[in-house]
Structure formats: C-alpha cells, structure tokens
Amino acid sequence: MIVDSGDLLNEDEVIPATIEQSARMKAEHMMELQKVIGFDAVNVGEFDLALGIGYLKELAQKTEVPLISANIVDAGGAAIFPRYVIRNVAGKNVGIIGLIGDTGDIPNKVKEITNGEASVSDVVAAATSAVEELKGKVDYIIALTHQQANRDYVIARRVNGIDLVVGGHDKQRTESPIGVDDKSFIVRAGEKGQYLGMFEVDLGAGKSSVTHELVPLGDSIADDAKIKAMISAYNDKVFEMYSGGGETGVNPASNAVLQNEKCGTCHANHLAKWKATDHAKAYNTLFDKAKNYDPTCLACHTVRFEQPGGFNMKEQPMSLVHVQCESCHGDAKDHLASLKPVPTPRPTIDVCAKCHTSDRNPNLVKDAKIFMDKIKHQ
C-alpha cells in the first residue's frame, strides 16, 4: 500500500498568472506519476489547492489518483473531496482517512488560497466521524495528516480506532514509529521526498511485530525506466512551450549580455570577482539538466523571478539569467538612475537562505562564513 500525506503539486500558495500554464502542466505530470506509481491514497495539503479546487478535482478524476480529505469543506460544511478510501491488502480491509490541521496558519491559508471557497473543519470531529463510519467495514484505519508534527499526537490520542497516523507538512521525520498509548503509531517521512517510509505489520503477530524503515532516496537506488521516461517527456514538453523554437542543445544564455554589466561600469572589480563564482553560471546548471524552463528552478537561478523588471517566463530575458547583483542586493533601478542605495547593500545569510534552504544546504547557518567566502566579491 502506498500513501502520501499531502502537498504534492505546488511549492507556493500563490501561482502567478504568468506561470499558471506551466504549473498546471507540472501538476498534471505529478499526478500522472502518482498514478503510475500506484498510490492508494493521497491526502490534500493546502498548497495542492493553489491551482483551484475545480482544477484539482478534475485532475484527480482524469488521472484516477485518489485525493482524500475529511475536513476540507465547502461553505455548507460538506467535504469537498472523498473523506476516506478503503483498500484491501493481504485479505484485510484498511480504511484511509485524509485530514488537514485546524490549528496554526493552515486554516487561514486554505481560505486565502481558495478565496474562501474552502475552509478547514474541526479535525478531531472529522476524524471521529469518519472512524465511526468505517467501523465494521474495515480491519485497520490509517489517518493521513497534514499538520504540525505535534498535532499528530492529538489525533492518535483523542480519536479511538486509528491504528496508524502518517503525518506530513513540515520537515519532521520519524526514524522509528512513535507508539501512542499502546493503541496507535505515528510516522512521518519529512519533506521534499528525501525519504520514503516503510511501515510493516505482521498480521500473525499483531502490533507487537511492527517493523519500520526510513529509506533515503539517494543515488544507490536505480532509476525506474518508465518514470524516468515520463520525466524526460515532460521536460521536452516544457522546452517546446517556452523555447520559442529555440535550437535544442544550445544554451540560450551563452551569448547573453547580462544586466550585471551595468553594475560593472562603476563596480568593475566586484563584477570580475562575481564572474568567478558559481552564481555566475547558475542558469547553465539548469540548462545542463533540461530544467531551464521550469519555474520552480528558475525562481532561484535567475534575477528577481516574476517580479517587476525581473526575469519572467513570458519573455525569458537572457540578460537576467544567473544569480546577479540584483538577486541579492535587490532592484537596482533607482541606484542606476540616481545612485540611491540599493535595497540590500549588505545581504545577510538570511538572503542566501531563501534559495539555499535547509534541505539543500543544511549547514548554511553553521558554515555561513564558508558560504559567504565562496561568493565574496569585495
């Protein structure tokens, strides 16, 4: 049985109109991958709603990926997605309930993202109601939750009948299952698909026989040929959409005159040193992996992505590729026009952390000096 706890399709809660088409393509691609992989149930996270509830439901129907949520509700309080699914595994019926957190910023985000079309109802009440319905129909019940890790204890403790809570939403992951009151377990796989969890129960021996493994998805696991081919096909489709008939295999940035040259008029030494850094070839790394038309990647490999005067998907201005001066120092329009200070004259490590996130560079803060030295250009 394969399940996911939510936030599968979008990285952001707001999808700019300029990248909506590619975001939809990517969402459809992700759902098709889930279908081929054979997911039995996928919980709905708040970011999954960013392309619209109607579109998400349409996508679920088209790809037959079972999206579930017992407490994302419409204005009348009715569940928008199926609340649960029942699967038969090893001769046993297993009920899988989808839940999203009703605390912290999640409820407000759901309302904002859906323009009030959806809201989050009481998670314990929704779980309790679903469990009551499943009683007599299933042998085991799994709750897929999308909320802060500590809230999983509330579900496990207060809702009788749930055998396993599979949580997600933040980076917390469980190296071993957490037993709760000798009646259920909590597991979490962390974020961004870095790990897959495997929780196994020997039916002959009951809950005492649980085994668990958190498998890192590294290079030691061979590519799946079919999935790899699907991803290549998707990359080709994105290329065709944005390349404007450009020649395959030719980096469109190879002869670009960069915006940075304007800065170099006065800051020649800085510019020369910048040219020796990895920031000066950030776009090329995308091109080498055929990801140079992927908005998710371009956001950190171009200048001020989709901001006024910044790199945008529609025009694809090659003068604004790589991580240039304005990427860290901010919009230099006023500085270039009248020598007003740039918005961020001395960027701190927090600026770096916007792209060098903890999953990509876990030691960024600890090794801040080392990172800063790599891009030093004074």
| Residues within window 335-374 making contact with other proteins, judged by CB under 8 A | 356, 359-362
| Nearer of residues 103 and 269 to other proteins, judged by Cβ | 103
| Binding residue (CB under 8 A) for other proteins from 25, 124, 300, 349 | 300
Instruction: Give dist(CA 262, CA 276) in Å, integer.
Output: 18
| Binding residue (CB under 8 A) for other proteins from 57, 58, 150, 221 | 221
Map the footprint of other proteins across residues 131-170, applying CB under 8 A.
140, 142, 164, 166-170
3-state secondary structure of 76: coil
Instruction: Give dist(CA 280, CA 285) in Å, integer.
Output: 10
| Binding residue (CB under 8 A) for other proteins from 204, 245, 308, 345 | 204
Q: Does 293 bind other proteins (CB under 8 A)?
A: no
Q: Does 27 bind other proteins (CB under 8 A)?
A: yes
Instruction: Give dist(CA 238, CA 294) in Å, integer.
Output: 7
Residues that contact other proteins, how many (by CB under 8 A): 82
Sign of CA dihedral 154, 197, 98, 170: positive
Q: Find the helix or strand (DSSP H, E) in which 168 lies.
A: strand 164-168
| Binding residue (CB under 8 A) for other proteins from 57, 135, 158, 228 | 228
Annotate each residue in 246-285 with x if it binds other proteins (CB under 8 A) or - if it does not, as one string. ------------------------------------x--x
In whole angstroms, how close is the CB of 57 to other proteins at the nearest point?
A: 18
| Binding residue (CB under 8 A) for other proteins from 6, 95, 98, 330 | 6
Instruction: Give dist(CA 139, CA 207) in Å, integer.
Output: 13
Reported residue count of the chain is: 378
Q: Which residues contact 173 (CB under 8 A, 6 or more apart)?
A: 188, 189, 190, 195, 197, 214
Structure tokens that stand for 247 in this block: 């020649």
| Binding residue (CB under 8 A) for other proteins from 78, 90, 257, 337 | 90
Backbone angles phi, psi at 277, to 5 degrees: -95, 165
In whole angstroms, how close is the CB of 309 to other proteins at the nearest point?
A: 23
Q: Does 14 bind other proteins (CB under 8 A)?
A: no
Contact status, residue 144 vs residue 96, Cβ threshold 8 Å = yes
The stretch near other proteins (CB under 8 A) out of 74-82, 119-127, 222-230, 328-336 is 222-230
The torsion defined by the Cα of 151, 154, 157 and 158, in degrees rounded to 10, comes to -150
Q: Find the helix or strand (DSSP H, E) in which 184 lies.
A: strand 184-188
Map the footprint of other proteins across residues 170-199, applying CB under 8 A.
170-171, 187-199
The stretch near other proteins (CB under 8 A) out of 91-99, 105-113, 126-134, 246-254 is 91-99
| Nearer of residues 214 and 342 to other proteins, judged by Cβ | 214
Structure tokens that stand for 190 in this block: 């962390």
| Binding residue (CB under 8 A) for other proteins from 222, 257, 337, 339 | 222
Q: Find the helix or strand (DSSP H, E) in which 37 lies.
A: helix 17-37
The stretch near other proteins (CB under 8 A) out of 86-94, 111-119, 322-330, 368-376 is 86-94
| Binding residue (CB under 8 A) for other proteins from 231, 256, 336, 351 | 231
| Binding residue (CB under 8 A) for other proteins from 4, 46, 102, 152 | 4
Q: Which residues contact 236 (CB under 8 A, 6 or more apart)?
A: 290
